[in-house]
């Protein structure tokens, strides 16, 4: 079957999977993004034909012509989400429908064909069924799923490609930051910006991350874990980190996060935090926060906690912020109470250890 909301997947099991003993050794300490499972999903697209040739097959290199359009014009998007061991022994996904919707929003912005949300979800289910044994048994372990799509047409010319390849790979992971959950240090980039109004900041495309790497290198040079970007117009208001959204927690219990104005990725974890905080009765504002206000509110004690959030790191406390003007220490530099409470709530829902009042968790197996 080709095109439409449903595809039949051809299942081609890997004839040489990693042995159970070797897999167990790898899963004891998987790190993040360095180990991959036995299988991948591929689906092809051609203009006039639609999506076709859906497969689950052995993970392998992808043959690519040097004139493939993605190499020259960067038509590429991706998503990131996790599968978890549930408390009852099953396997769950957290808000995969939201990832499916955002994937198509990114596709529209990058002039790429939409993929049926059902086909997107089916692809996730198929790879989990094939590689369930790769989910780490550790407390912080999960199976990180990376769906992506790129322009595969062999053509040189500035226009949307006519052929695309959707691929889904999976990677067993532990904690995103080495050493587990601990406050991170941020560097405020003065020279670089991540995205501008009218650009691709709200799309999850590789170019946005490539644009952040020089600033990230600058952050590391200053002894920081991550970079935080200011807006591209006034160089005044906080946008987001290189790969995460940011929240501010004040002394009256209220919270704030930068608004989605088109230059910030609409994070699914961000949206989840907004819902959890509102359910607690907290006042949460989506409003501009200037770096000057960040500094002044931290100095006065009004700003008590700051944290970053995203699929990979979930919720991560921010302990210090550095810039050419000096250093800001949040509270006592340790993880804040509100930050860690929200993290525990979210992790417990994701892993099936707590009630799911929003219907976020999808059972796979």
**DSSP conformation letters of 10-43:** EE---SSPPPHHHHHHHHTS--SSS---SEEEEE
Residue by residue, DSSP assigns 120-173 as HHHHHHHHHHHHGGGS--STT-EEEEEEEEEE--B--SSS--SEEEEEEEEEEE
Compute the radius of gyration of the chain from its Cα atoms: 21
- The residue behind tokens 């052929």 is 163
Contact predicate 364/93, CB 8 Å: yes
User: Measured between alpha carbons, how far is residue 273 from residues 24, 62, 280, 341, 343 in Å?
Assistant: 34, 37, 11, 11, 9
- Residue 141 phi/psi, 5-degree rounding, is -85, 150
Q: Are 77 and 204 in contact (CB under 8 A)?
A: yes
6, 82, 204, 236: which is the annotated catalytic residue?
204
- Per the annotation, the verdict on 204 as an active-site residue is yes
Q: Is 91 helix (H, G, I), strand (E, B) or coil?
A: strand
What is the token pair recorded at 116?
A: 């049926």
- Residue 315 has a CB neighbour count (10 Å cut-off) of 25
Residues tagged active-site: 204
């Amino acid at each position: 079957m080709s095109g439409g909301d449903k595809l039949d997947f051809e299942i081609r099991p890997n004839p040489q999977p990693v042995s159970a003993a070797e897999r167990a050794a790898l899963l004891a300490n998987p790190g993040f993004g360095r180990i991959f499972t036995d299988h991948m999903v591929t689906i092809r697209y051609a203009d006039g034909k639609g999506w076709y040739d859906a497969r689950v097959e052995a993970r392998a290199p992808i043959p690519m012509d040097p004139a493939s359009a993605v190499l020259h014009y960067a038509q590429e998007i991706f998503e990131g989400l996790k599968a978890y061991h549930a408390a009852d022994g099953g396997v769950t996904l957290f808000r995969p429908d939201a990832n499916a919707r955002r994937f198509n929003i990114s596709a529209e912005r990058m002039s790429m064909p939409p993929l049926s949300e059902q086909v997107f979800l089916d692809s996730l289910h198929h790879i989990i069924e094939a590689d369930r044994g790769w989910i780490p048994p550790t407390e912080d372990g999960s199976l990180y799923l990376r769906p992506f799509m790129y322009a595969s047409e062999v053509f040189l010319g500035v226009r949307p490609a006519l052929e695309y390849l959707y691929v889904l790979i999976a990677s067993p992971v532990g904690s995103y930051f080495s050493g587990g959950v601990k406050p991170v240090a941020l560097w405020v980039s003065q020279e670089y910006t991540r995205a501008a109004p009218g650009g691709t900041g709200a799309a999850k495309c590789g170019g946005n991350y490539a644009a952040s790497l020089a600033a990230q290198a600058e952050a590391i040079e200053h002894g920081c874990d991550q970079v935080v970007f200011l807006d591209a117009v006034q160089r005044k208001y906080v946008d987001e980190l290189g790969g995460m959204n940011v929240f501010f927690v004040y002394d009256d219990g209220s919270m704030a996060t930068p608004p989605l104005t088109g230059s910030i990725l609409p994070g699914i974890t961000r949206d989840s935090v907004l819902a959890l905080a509102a359910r607690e009765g907290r006042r949460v504002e989506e409003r501009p926060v200037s770096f000057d206000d960040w500094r002044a509110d931290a100095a006065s004690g009004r700003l008590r906690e700051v944290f970053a959030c995203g699929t990979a790191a979930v919720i991560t406390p921010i302990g210090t912020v550095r810039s050419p003007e000096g250093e800001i220490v949040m509270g006592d530099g340790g993880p804040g109470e509100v930050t860690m409470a929200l993290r525990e709530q979210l992790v417990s829902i994701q892993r099936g250890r707590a009630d799911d009042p929003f219907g976020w968790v999808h059972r796979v197996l």
